[in-house]
Amino acid sequence: MHLLVIETPEIASKVRPGQFVIVRANDEGERIPLSVADWDAQKGTITIVFMEVGASTGALACLKEGDSVATCVGPLGNETEIGNFGTVMCIGGCYGIGSMYPVIKELKEAGNKIITVLEARSNYLIYWTDRFVPLSNRIFNITRDGSQGFKGHVSRLPDIINGLLTPPDRIIVNGCTFLMANVSEVTKNLGIKTVVNLNPIMIDGTGMCGVCRVTVGGKMKFACVDGPEFDGHEVDWKEFLARRKAYLDEEALFFRRSEPKPIIHEGGKCQV
Amino acid sequence: MNEEKTEKASKIDLNRNDMPRQSPEIRRHNFNEVALGYTEEIAVKEAKRCLQCKKPRCKTGCPVEIDIPDFISCIVKRDFAAGIKKLKEKNCLPAVCGRVCPQETQCESQCILLNKKGEIAIGRLERFLADWEAKQGIMDIPPKAKPTGKKIAIVGSGPAGITVAGDLILLGHEVTIFEALHKAGGVLVYGIPEFRLPKAIVAREVDYVKKLGAKVFTDYVVGKTRSIDELLKEFDAVFVGTGAGLPWFMDIPGENLNGVYSANEYLTRMNLMQGYRYPMSSTPVKKHLKVAVVGGGNVAMDSARTALRMGAAESRIIYRRSHAELPARLEESENAEEEGVIFNVLTLPVRYIGDENGWLKEIECLRMELGEPDASGRRAPIEIPNSNFRMQMDAVVCAIGNSPNPLVPSTTPGLETTRRGTLVADPETGKTTKDRVWAGGDIVTGAATVILAMGAGRKAARSMHEYLMTGK
């Protein structure tokens, strides 16, 4: 997991919760969409949290302080719907913990009660708890290995919801496809409106290429311009997951042919 | 008298000179340009055939009214520098237009020699002059008018935007271009493949407007990073040339399977993202053995020919009308056929069938026949009932067209659109329904050609200049 602060004053003054930017690490780089986790309009910076999964995120991870990225364009997509919904459960998983932060901040300001759920493989992948504490009425953690909070994964969610006095009025999920799909499945049975922030493969991010298409409520939508937020109960998750995986073989090829990289993580800490 | 006439007629050389090309067997395996261009000798020979009509009809066939006989006579005199200068008076993108303009329906279709099937190869001569200039390694920067102090924002760096930029900058205005992608050039860069329009040529044309003094901001999405209204606070006038960037699909089952692409995606991956160099470049591309391209236009031909070059053993065009109705340039469909693209005309895909992992496996089609002419004047394709059949395919590229990109219209109050989503603009001036905003190219006309976009840009530039100088 990596945190990247990019100086880009115009985007920093424009970006809203739920929006994303498209970044290219270098001139040969792939264009990848990344959610914005925080920004400072005064300093003109935006903050991104991302997970290293392949060639392009790997190149981003190797950047050092003061380096430039070839592309950072945005803010793209529509912003999260902010309103007074009552109690909102905000679930952030892995890199989605970061992008949940501005959403929670604004929902809190709008008068909502916030129940924060942070999900990750292990406790060292949970971050920004100090930011969430003052904004949340309750905080729950779920870790795969049980090193913090509930042990397991999103299947523990009903336990959390059942433990509350009243179920939340709305659930917002940011994170990997697995997390969003599973939360949607769980909450569908509970009848709680669930908003997901989709993260498909994209190229231009302006509606031009259509690679990010997704079936929502039986209709074809482009996540970049119609989304990225959709009703999780309406998304065709099987199709979405298959489209996300389209280039898995090619990513594997990258790992096979790439030079061994310097160790940038040790003991859960970034060494760069 | 009669005898004299026959003698003169016999002197007319009707042998249109072919342009050297890479042979089909070779070129279907590489991304280098297919057409190699005239040599000096061939160019002069071709130019000499021009009758230098007193009332040149070719000029009326050109959307930007190039003085065609004049530049051709420069070639005859081997004064190529003068020729390119003449050309550039009316066309700031000759190397591009010489390659991708449909001359056969424009200037060349008006040539007096057409009746005798010996029309002058105007496009090839245009290309020759532009390439000659490039080879000299110099770029003639024409003098600019005195600075007017007026600032203009241009949204989109495709053919329309570049034309407006070139024209207005020469008139002394300060020009800034905003481009959403990371490379300037619009469809010339992301859409048209290297083998038809080398990217170095586009880069050179963009460089030309930059040398003239235009500022170019890439990675800048107007409508998102900044709105038109915000631009109007800083700039005196805005030109919108954002093109036709929202791909159509057919709304048939299976279109979201992996292996089904929009032509925009397929071509952008290969061109802008340099997928043809993968894995040297990092945007991944799939190896597909059997590729079907749905559609019959130039974009469809580009996609089918790209598929061959990417190693497809079988590349097909699936088109619902007959061969005669193919909207692609004849030259392009012929090139495709020579290279081995298979044409399945009178065929309509009705369903895409996937495997258990969500990858395309087969496409189901219907056979069609032609009925009475429809609104477009072409004979309408009619489904033949129960003619369904299937083809095994591992990729489909949907090249059936684009709607205008809605990003700017949807974020700009006061900018009216038509039912088709195009911007409402005066065809003569490019003026939109919003004060100080002009538009041109595909965003106004719907998907059309490079030269029409340039023509619209030229008209808008004229109108913008008039407004900036007189306030009208």
B35-67: per-residue pLDDT in tens? 999 999 999 999 999 999 999 999 999 888 899
Mean model confidence pLDDT for chain B:
91
Task: Tell me, yes or no, whether A110 lies in a domain.
Answer: yes
CB contact under 8 A, B224 and A209: no
Closest partner CB to B262 (pick from A205, A209, A242): A209
Question: pLDDT per residue over A225-269, tens digit each?
Answer: 998 999 999 999 999 999 998 888 777 766 555 555 555 555 555
Q: pLDDT at residue B355 above 70?
A: yes
Closest partner CB to A28 (pick from B258, B282, B358): B282
CB contact under 8 A, B225 and A10: yes
CATH class for the region spanning B249-400: alpha beta
Answer whether A3 touches B (CB < 8 Å): no
Answer whether A185 touches B (CB < 8 Å): no
Domain that holds residue A41: 2-76
Question: Which residue is associated with the tokens 């007017």?
Answer: B148
ipTM here: 0.89
- Taking contacts as CB-CB distances below 8 angstroms, the residues of chain A near B406 are 207, 225
Number of Cβ atoms within 10 Å of the Cβ of B249: 15
Task: Tell me, yes or no, whether A263 lies in a domain.
Answer: no
Question: pLDDT per residue over B219-277, tens digit each?
Answer: 999 999 999 999 999 999 999 999 988 899 999 999 999 999 999 999 999 998 888 88
Answer whether B279 touches A (CB < 8 Å): yes
Question: Which residue is associated with the tokens 């080398």?
Answer: B198
Q: pLDDT at residue B472 above 90?
A: no
Q: Rounded to 5 degrees, what angle do the CA atoms B415, B457, A208 make?
A: 60
- Taking contacts as CB-CB distances below 8 angstroms, the residues of chain A near B190 are 204, 208
Question: Which residue is associated with the tokens 């709105």?
Answer: B227
Q: pLDDT at residue B9 above 70?
A: no
The pTM of the full predicted model, rounded to 2 decimals, is 0.90
Tokens of A205: 């991010």
Extents of the domains making up chain B: 13-136, 151-245+403-470, 249-400
Is the fold of B151-245+403-470 the same as that of B249-400?
Answer: yes
What pLDDT is stored for residue A269 in this prediction? 59
Are residue A172 and residue A234 in the same domain, yes or no? Answer: yes
Question: pLDDT per residue over B239-254, tens digit each?
Answer: 999 998 889 999 999 9
Best of A14, A22, A198, A204 to disrupt the B interface (most B CBs within 10 Å) is A204
Q: Please write down the HEC assignment for all residues of chain B.
A: CHHHHHHHHHHCCCCCCCCCECCHHHHCCCCCCCECCCCHHHHHHHHHCCCCCCCCHHHHCCCCCCCHHHHHHHHHCCCHHHHHHHHHHHCCCHHHHHHHCCHHHCHHHHCHHHHHCCCCCHHHHHHHHHHHHHHHCCCCCCCCCCCCCCEEEEECCCHHHHHHHHHHHHCCCEEEEECCCCCCCCHHHHCCCCCCCCHHHHHHHHHHHHHHCCEEECCCCECCCECHHHHHHHCCEEEECCCCCEECCCCCCCCCCECEEEHHHHHHHHCCCCHHHCCCCCCCCCCCCEEEEECCCHHHHHHHHHHHHCCCCEEEEECCCCHHHCCCCHHHHHHHHHHCCEEECCEEEEEEEECCCCEEEEEEEEEEEEEEECCCCCEEEEECCCCCEEEECCEEEECCCEECCCHHHHHCCCCCECCCCCECECCCCCEECCCCEEECCHHHHCCCCHHHHHHHHHHHHHHHHHHHHHCC
CB contact under 8 A, A73 and B182: yes
The interface residues of chain A toward chain B in range 29-88, judged by CB-CB distance below 8 A, are 29-31, 55-56, 59, 70-76
Are residue A222 and residue A115 in the same domain, yes or no? Answer: yes
pLDDT beneath 70: ranges in chain A: 253-272
Q: pLDDT at residue B71 above 60?
A: yes
**Cα four-point dihedral sign B431, B432, B437, B443:** negative
| Fold of the CATH domain B13-136 | Fumarate Reductase Iron-sulfur Protein; Chain B, domain 2 (1.10.1060)
Task: Tell me, yes or no, whether A81 lies in a domain.
Answer: no
- Please count the residues of chain A: 272
Are residue A105 and residue A229 in the same domain, yes or no? Answer: yes
Question: Which residue is associated with the tokens 């969610």?
Answer: A157
- Is residue A265 within 8 Å of residue A230, measured between CB atoms? no
What pLDDT is stored for residue B252 in this prediction? 95
- Taking contacts as CB-CB distances below 8 angstroms, the residues of chain A near B218 are 71
Q: pLDDT at residue B68 above 80?
A: yes
- CATH number at A56 reads 2.40.30.10
Task: Tell me the CATH number for domain B151-245+403-470.
Answer: 3.50.50.60
Q: pLDDT at residue B104 above 80?
A: yes
What pLDDT is stored for residue A54 in this prediction? 79
Are residue A225 and residue A137 in the same domain, yes or no? Answer: yes
Are residue A134 and residue A224 in the same domain, yes or no? Answer: yes
Q: How many domains does chain A have?
A: 2
Give the CA-trace dihedral at B214, B215, B220, B222, to 10 degrees: -50
